[in-house]
Amino acid sequence: MKPKKFNLMGFIGSMKYRMKEDEVPALGAQLTYYLILSFFPFLIFLLTLLSHTSISTADVMRNLSEVLPDQSFALISDTIEEVLQNGTTSLLSFSIIGTLWSASNGVAALIKGLNKAYDQEENRPFLLLRGFAILITIALVIGIILSFTLLVFGQVIGNYIFSFFGLTKYFKIIWEAIRFIFPIIMLIVVFTLFYKYAPNKKRLKFKEVFPGAIFTTSAWIAISLLFSFYVNNFGNYTKTYGSLGGIIILLIWLYISSIIILIGGELNATLAFDRISIAKQINNKK
C-alpha cells in the first residue's frame, strides 16, 4: 500500500473538523474579551514609548486610521486623547509593568488556543508562561515601532542614505518597496516565532509553523482592509447601535483577527498531524 499523499480536499475537511472540535469560534470570542481589555492599555503603552522618539502621536493615529474603520478609529482616537490629557507621560511610564501584564493576557489566551490545536496540556510554570507572553508582547511592540518608523520616516531616511552614498533613483524605487514590505515581514517573523514557541509542544521546526504565519499575516491584512472598506462604504452600524456603533465594529474586527490567528495555529497543527499520519503509514509499510 502506497503512503497517503497530501490531499487538498482532505486537508480542508480535517481543518474544518479540528476547528469544530477545538471550538475555534468560542475561543475567538474568549480571546476577543481579553483583547478588548488589553487593546487600549497596549496602545497607550505603545504611544508612551513613541513619545520618547521623533514619531508623533498624530503620525501613529494617521497610519492606524488606514486599517481601522472610521467609526472605530474615532472611538479609539477620542479615548487615547482623553487618557493622554487626563494623565501624564511620567505616570504612564511608571505603569508600564501593569500595562504589559494586561496586554499579555491576550497572548496568554492565544497560547491556550494553540495548545488545544496541538492537543497538548499546559504544564509549564505560571511565571514562565506569563514571562513568555510578556516577551511576545514586547516583541510585538518593537515590531510595530520599527514598522511605524519606516512608514512615517522611510522617505526621509531613504533620501539621507541616497545622498550620502550617491545612489541612483532605481535604489529609491527599491527602498520605497522595502519600507512598505518591511511591516509585512515583521508580522511574519512575529507570528512564526509565536507559533513555534507558544504551544507546549517540543521540537517544532520553523518550516512547520511558517505556513500558519504566512496565512495569518496575509489573511489579517486582506480581511482588515476589506472589512474597513465595507464598514466605511456599506455598513452603517450607527443606525442599529447608535453611539455604540464604534465599539461594536471594534469588537467585530478584534473577533475576526482572533479567529484568523487561531486558524493559523490550527493550520500548522493539521499539517503536523498529517505528517505523523503519513510517517506511520511509511513505517507500517516497512
Q: How confident is the model at residue 1 (pLDDT cuts 50, 70, 90)?
A: very low
Q: What is the Cα–Cα distance from 105 to 137, expressed in whole angstroms?
A: 10
Q: How confident is the model at residue 119 (pLDDT cuts 50, 70, 90)?
A: confident
From 104, 87, 171, select the one nearest 140 (Cα to Cα).
104
Tens-place pLDDT, residues 143-153: 766 766 666 66
Q: What is the Cα–Cα distance from 181 to 178, expressed in whole angstroms?
A: 5
Tens-place pLDDT, residues 177-222: 777 788 888 889 888 988 998 888 878 888 889 999 999 999 988 8
Residues of the chain with pLDDT > 90, as a percent, come to: 8
Calculated CA dihedral for residues 5, 213, 192, 228, nearest 10 degrees: -170
Q: Which residue has the higher pLDDT, 198 or 37?
A: 198
Q: What is the Cα–Cα distance from 103 to 133, expressed in whole angstroms?
A: 9
- Most confident of the ranges 7-16, 76-85, 202-211: 202-211
Residue linked to cell 500500500: 1
Tens-place pLDDT, residues 224-242: 888 878 877 776 676 777 7
pTM higher than the cut 0.85: no
Q: Which residue has the higher pLDDT, 143 or 122?
A: 122
Q: What is the Cα–Cα distance from 96 to 186, expressed in whole angstroms?
A: 23
